[in-house]
Amino acid sequence: MTNLLQRTCVALAKGSPALTSDQAKLLGEQVDGWSINADANAIERDFRFKNYYETIAFVNAMAWIVHREDHHPDLEIGYNHCLVQFSTHSVGGLSDNDFICAAKINAIQD
């Protein structure tokens, strides 16, 4: 399997197929700390920090990555945490793009 860090996101047309649960599970094994939220058709991870400054610094670094990939997560930001949730809306579920971005975000945090 190709290293997710070496890949870039690709635009997916509306109606393109989402990953199967087996495909998502295989990709999920490559992104430590992320879990599949079946109710939201998404992958998610709650990153924890010492304080608000570190949380916002993380959000800013992540914003640069996802802007370059043109694949943007839903975020929930609190004083010392940021819940990041990826889903590919154009396919109505998960795509490789979600896991590519998860791997790149892990690389700046872990």
Closest to 97 measured CA to CA, from 22, 1, 35, 24: 24
* 49 in a structural domain: yes
Q: How confident is the model at residue 2 (pLDDT cuts 50, 70, 90)?
A: low
Instruction: Please say whether the beta carbons of 78 and 10 come within 8 A.
Output: no
Residue 1 pLDDT > 60: no
Confirm whether 52 is domain-assigned: yes
| Range in 2-6, 85-89, 99-103 with the lowest mean pLDDT | 2-6
Burial class, 7, CB count within 10 angstroms (exposed 0-12 / middle 13-18 / buried 19+) = middle
Domain harbouring 69, CATH code: 3.30.1360.20
pTM here is 0.94
End-to-end CA distance of the chain: 21
Which range of residues forms the domain containing residue 46?
40-110
In a domain, 81, yes or no: yes
* pLDDT tens profile 30-78: 999 999 999 999 999 999 999 999 999 999 999 999 999 999 999 999 9
Domain assignment present for 98: yes
Residue 109: the pLDDT is: 85
Per the structure, the count of domains in the chain is 1
